[in-house]
Amino acid sequence: MGHFAGYHPFVNLVYFVIVIGISMFFMHPVFLVLSLGGGIAYSFYLKGAKTAKVFLRGMMPVCLLMAAINPLFNHEGATMLFYLKNGNPITLESIVYGWGSGMMMAGIVLWFSVFNEVMTSDKLMYLFGKALPAFSLMLSMSLRFVPRFTEQIKKVSQAQQCIGRNITSGTVPERAGHGMKILSITTTWALENSVETADSMKSRAYGLRGRTNFSIYRFDKRDRGLMALLLGSAAVLLSCIRSRTLSVLYFPVFTMNVTSPVAVLSYVLYGLLCALPVILNVLEDIKWRSLRSGI
């Protein structure tokens, strides 16, 4: 899954919050392009050719739809291009805004697909567990329960089919009746089994005061370093946005900040931030290659 995913889950989470947060709330065209580029690169690193599928099926349609629909409903902006039949104007600004929000949506879809890959249930559970210990155990138990329940339903309906109780044939009331029976008996089954699970928990001293939460993660020096880097660059970017060194305005007229050296530097910084996982992963790959050739 790459080197970046091997960092502490908290570092992973902070990273995604910063990158996704900025590209969600700050629709700066340069930032949108950088975020999209970084997302595509990381997705390609993690999933390879599958990225193309995500791109074509998820992002492109969203992007195009937003670009096409926005001008039809949004008539703000000073530069009118032409009038629609119902008398509403189409403005240049609304088209630009449509493209901008399309790209933003595409970027978010992409980053969330990467998020899913990196933030496995273990990691989420660990993070939740830090805040709400009982919730983390409940989540873990339901993650175990749901697949078992569906599996049992499958088994029961198969067994029922073999004694002529098929839910895929017969009249609708018959099928509904069989389906209900299966659901009700499987629920009974689940309750029955949960008694034994409860026994097993009790016999392993569940319910005592002072339960701890074990995790397989450790926040080490490497994590601290990356965390500082992430928080530092987030602070720089946010202060740039606050001080209007970086700014963007779509309506009434599209305006952007001037391309000052500080602005350029912050572009570079955000670009590096978006590409950070890929950079870390590739650096690690190169290190491995040199290590191997050293052997």
Which residues lie near another protein (CB under 8 A)? 121-122, 137, 140-141, 143-144, 147-148, 152, 155-156, 158-164, 166, 169, 181-182, 184-185, 188-189, 192-194, 196-197, 199-216
To the nearest whole angstrom, how small is the minimum distance from the Cβ of residue 178 to another protein?
Answer: 9
Comparison of 158 and 239: residue with beta carbon closer to another protein = 158
8 Å CB contact between 36 and 60: no
Comparison of 85 and 209: residue with beta carbon closer to another protein = 209
To the nearest whole angstrom, how small is the minimum distance from the Cβ of residue 254 to another protein?
Answer: 50
Comparison of 159 and 231: residue with beta carbon closer to another protein = 159
Comparison of 86 and 212: residue with beta carbon closer to another protein = 212
Comparison of 211 and 224: residue with beta carbon closer to another protein = 211
To the nearest whole angstrom, how small is the minimum distance from the Cβ of residue 146 to another protein?
Answer: 10
To the nearest whole angstrom, how small is the minimum distance from the Cβ of residue 159 to another protein?
Answer: 4
To the nearest whole angstrom, how small is the minimum distance from the Cβ of residue 265 to another protein?
Answer: 41
Comparison of 164 and 173: residue with beta carbon closer to another protein = 164
Can you tell me the distance from the alpha carbon of 116 to that of 264, in angstroms, rounded to the nearest whole number? 32
To the nearest whole angstrom, how small is the minimum distance from the Cβ of residue 267 to another protein?
Answer: 40
